[in-house]
Amino acid sequence: MVTRTTSAITRAMRHLGWSGVAALFVLICVLALAAAGPPGDPHVMQLRDRLTPPGGTGRSGTTYLLGTDSLGRDLLSRMIFGCRVSVLVGVLGVSVSFLIGVPLGLLAGYRGSGLDSICSRLADVQLSIPFLLFAIALMASVGTGLVQVILVLGVARWAVFFRIARADVLSIRNEEYVMAAQALGASNLRIVARHILPNSASAMLVAASIGIGDAILAEAGLSYLGLGVPADMPSWGLIAREGKDYLQVAWWTSTLPGLGISTVVLSVSILGDRLRDFASPVARKLLGVR
Amino acid sequence: MGRYITRRLGQMIFVWLGVALLVVVGLRMTGDPVALLLPHNMEPDVIAALRAEFGLDRPLYEQYARLVLNFVRLDLGRSIYYKQPVMKLVMERLPRSLLLAATALAVACLLGVPLGTLAGYRRGTAADVVISGSVVAAQSIPSFWLGIMLILVFAVRIPWLPTGGSRTAASLILPAITLSVIPLARMTRFLRAGVVDVLGQDYIRTARAKGNTERAVLFRHVLRNAVRPAVTDAAMTFGRLIGGAIIVETVFAWPGVGRLLMDAISNRDFPVVEGGTLVIATLFLVINLVVDLLYPLFDPRIAYD
């Protein structure tokens, strides 16, 4: 048992490198914390304990590992709650982009013709608008909310997945095994699902892993601007924003959530970077230098 | 060359029409802009009157056509909050945004070229590991948070620099540094890759074989060939910087177009939100086109005909 575990770790090290393994470890810890949930109520205010520094004991006699914010709320509980929100937005936001972009890209690449040119032009237009500008303008019109943020971030990034899926299909479409399947009379749906999708899956997974980091950063930015999640659902970006006004007296309220965001995004992008080696050459070019 | 410019210009106009359509549809289909403008308990006839005033009761294609035609005449409507033409408001703030973006880009080039060259030239050494690692780390930091941290350290703890505004020249320093981090990371990464690539070329071996000093090889042969694509890429990011500056301008209260857009959102000033979005998007397109057309100046091997 021990040898099997050791050999699994050695194999992972070989593929991911020490930084990749470290990133994976950090992400597993973060997800475990998010799954375990906050130790206390992230919303309950203890005004007598407001702005207690990390590790300090408030006037009510409670000790706070990460201190409290300006309303005396436990920062550790808020951080773990915020981690749930941030990671949820990152993962679901990318899933929305994925679900719009990948089927369209597969179809456009496989069928070509009218659908392809319409979707490709649309993707050009979408990618001509700075991502954050588009998200800000949309959020201003749909209003704040968790579902809104996820949908807006998802819609704003569909074109990235569309382009990768399309390029990958175009490079695979004329492979011999696809032609063989066609010659055998396989339906188009079957060819796409059984022969093309599995072969371009790695590229899309890489794109998704990179996209999660971007989505978490974008959500933090939107929440900082007051255009993200509502106040009763604090994400890391929102907690950092709330702490900004108390910077002179309490450094921790803004610093800690920012550190959380940076750590998670860094881990995700290191892992994405390592996984990039598994993507096809065509997709690797599109994923390119970020 | 003339034909190429015409074609690219045509392409840009097509994409711009699409961008304008996306802005019109995006801001209208997703919600009622007037409902967001007004307090919740407004009388229905007041809402209807305001809808009519902005032409929001007209069919979508008509609103789109009017926006495009007005934009060509440089008319973006009037701000509800400032009671001034939107174009005037945007144009007043645009120089500030351009100054901020240009300074950030200059910082990125000045630091990115030496750092990227060092990392590429000494590939695999400790210097490379530190620089390449920092590049990945820098791209993981939310810009607003970096801004807050810089304020905390250099304006609150050590009161050297102003926390925001634009009254003195020193006010430019912190926002420009914050905004420069992403292009700096990109520049360093690009240049490192370029230097590694060029070092493997045959002409570098030839240059060394001729007895050139290592210094001459690096500056005359490696850098000349590696810098060009990196600088072109940096110029391409200039347009994106103006969009990315929205957050930085808000953190540092820098009075640029991004700040105007954010103020307009909180003031529920719909014409400014629409006009500001469209102007920033247009600027992005124009800058990309200009960089594209200037490309032969950077690289004589490329000729458009």
Q: Do B186 and A142 touch (CB under 8 A)?
A: no
Question: In which band, very low, low, confident or very high, does the pLDDT at A288 lie, cut at 50, 70 and 90?
Answer: low
Q: Do A129 and B261 touch (CB under 8 A)?
A: no
Would you call A57 helix, strand, or coil by DSSP?
A: strand
Q: Do A262 and B145 touch (CB under 8 A)?
A: yes
Highest mean pLDDT among A231-235, B3-7, B130-134: B130-134
- The reply to whether B189 touches chain A by the CB within 8 Å rule is yes
B246 vs B166, higher pLDDT: B246
Quote the pLDDT of residue A53. Answer: 82
Residue A53 placed within a domain: no
Task: Please name the residue ranges forming H helices in chain A.
Answer: 2-36, 75-111, 113-127, 131-142, 146-156, 158-173, 176-183, 188-190, 197-224, 236-243, 252-275, 281-287
pLDDT digits (tens, 9 = 90+) for B181-223: 999 998 998 899 889 888 888 888 898 899 888 888 888 888 8
**Span A4-24, mean pLDDT?**
76
**Span A120-144, mean pLDDT?**
84
**Span B24-47, mean pLDDT?**
71
B56 near B33, Cβ under 8 Å? Answer: yes
Quote the pLDDT of residue B63. Answer: 85
Q: Which of residues 237-266 of A touch B (CB under 8 A)?
A: 237, 240-241, 244, 247-248, 251, 254-255, 257-258, 261-263, 265-266
Spacing of C-alpha B250 from chain mean position: 15
Residue in A125, A244, A262 closest to B140 by CB: A262
Q: Which of residues 238-277 of B touch A (CB under 8 A)?
A: 239-240, 242-244, 246-247, 250-251, 261-262, 265-266, 273, 277
Percent of chain A residues past pLDDT 90, beyond the cut: 18
- The reply to whether A38 touches chain B by the CB within 8 Å rule is no
Instruction: Report the distance separating Cα B257 and Cα B249, nearest Å.
Output: 8
Q: Which of residues 93-122 of A touch B (CB under 8 A)?
A: 121-122
Instruction: Report the distance separating Cα B240 and Cα B226, nearest Å.
Output: 23
Query: Beta partners for B78?
Result: B85
Residue A265 placed within a domain: yes
A157 near A242, Cβ under 8 Å? Answer: no
Question: In which band, very low, low, confident or very high, does the pLDDT at B131 lie, cut at 50, 70 and 90?
Answer: very high
- The reply to whether A285 touches chain B by the CB within 8 Å rule is no
- The reply to whether A81 touches chain B by the CB within 8 Å rule is no
Question: In which band, very low, low, confident or very high, does the pLDDT at A289 lie, cut at 50, 70 and 90?
Answer: very low
- The reply to whether A225 touches chain B by the CB within 8 Å rule is yes
Instruction: Report the distance separating Cα A274 and Cα A23, nearest Å.
Output: 10
Whether the per-residue pLDDT at A262 is higher than 90: the answer is yes
For residue A211, the enclosing domain spans: 2-47+64-287
Instruction: Compare all CA atoms of chain A with the CA of B156 and give the residue at the minimum distance.
Output: A248
Reading the block at residue A185, the tokens are: 């009379």
Reading the block at residue A125, the tokens are: 């237009």
- Among A38-42, A114-118, B133-137, where is mean pLDDT lowest? A38-42
Percent of chain A residues past pLDDT 70, beyond the cut: 91
Quote the pLDDT of residue A259. Answer: 92
Quote the pLDDT of residue A273. Answer: 77
B187 near B230, Cβ under 8 Å? Answer: yes
Domain edges within chain B: 95-256
For residue B91, give how far its alpha carbon lies from the nearest alpha carbon of chain A (Å): 18
Which residues of chain B neighbour A226 with C-beta distances below 8 Å? Answer: 266
Question: In which band, very low, low, confident or very high, does the pLDDT at A203 lie, cut at 50, 70 and 90?
Answer: confident
Instruction: Report the distance separating Cα A155 and Cα A96, nearest Å.
Output: 7
Quote the pLDDT of residue A219. Answer: 92
Type and span of the H or E element at B209: helix B202-209
Whether the per-residue pLDDT at B91 is higher than 60: the answer is yes
Query: What is the number of domains present in chain A?
Result: 1
Which residues of chain B neighbour A125 with C-beta distances below 8 Å? Answer: 15, 18-19, 21-22
To the nearest whole number, what is the mean pLDDT of chain A?
83
B162 near B168, Cβ under 8 Å? Answer: yes
Q: Do B145 and A269 touch (CB under 8 A)?
A: no
- The reply to whether B140 touches chain A by the CB within 8 Å rule is yes
A240 near A254, Cβ under 8 Å? Answer: yes
* Domain at A234, CATH number: 1.10.3720.10
Radius of gyration (C-alpha) of chain A in whole angstroms: 22
Which residues of chain B neighbour A240 with C-beta distances below 8 Å? Answer: 142, 144-145, 148
Question: In which band, very low, low, confident or very high, does the pLDDT at B88 lie, cut at 50, 70 and 90?
Answer: very high
Instruction: Report the distance separating Cα A228 and Cα A90, nearest Å.
Output: 13
pLDDT digits (tens, 9 = 90+) for B233-276: 777 777 778 777 899 999 999 999 989 988 888 887 888 888 88
Which amino acid, A210?
Answer: I
Quote the pLDDT of residue A59. Answer: 77
A206 vs B195, higher pLDDT: B195
- pTM, two decimals, is 0.85
pLDDT digits (tens, 9 = 90+) for A39-72: 878 887 877 877 788 887 877 777 787 888 878 7
Residue A155 placed within a domain: yes
Which residues of chain A neighbour B285 with C-beta distances below 8 Å? Answer: 128
Q: Do A273 and B137 touch (CB under 8 A)?
A: no
Percent of chain B residues past pLDDT 70, beyond the cut: 93
- The reply to whether B138 touches chain A by the CB within 8 Å rule is no
Residue A119 placed within a domain: yes
End-to-end C-alpha distance for chain A, whole angstroms = 41
A66 near A78, Cβ under 8 Å? Answer: no
B81 near B266, Cβ under 8 Å? Answer: no
Q: Do B156 and A129 touch (CB under 8 A)?
A: no
Residue A52 placed within a domain: no
- List the CATH code of the domain at B95-256: 1.10.3720.10
Quote the pLDDT of residue A290. Answer: 36
Which amino acid, B291?
Answer: V
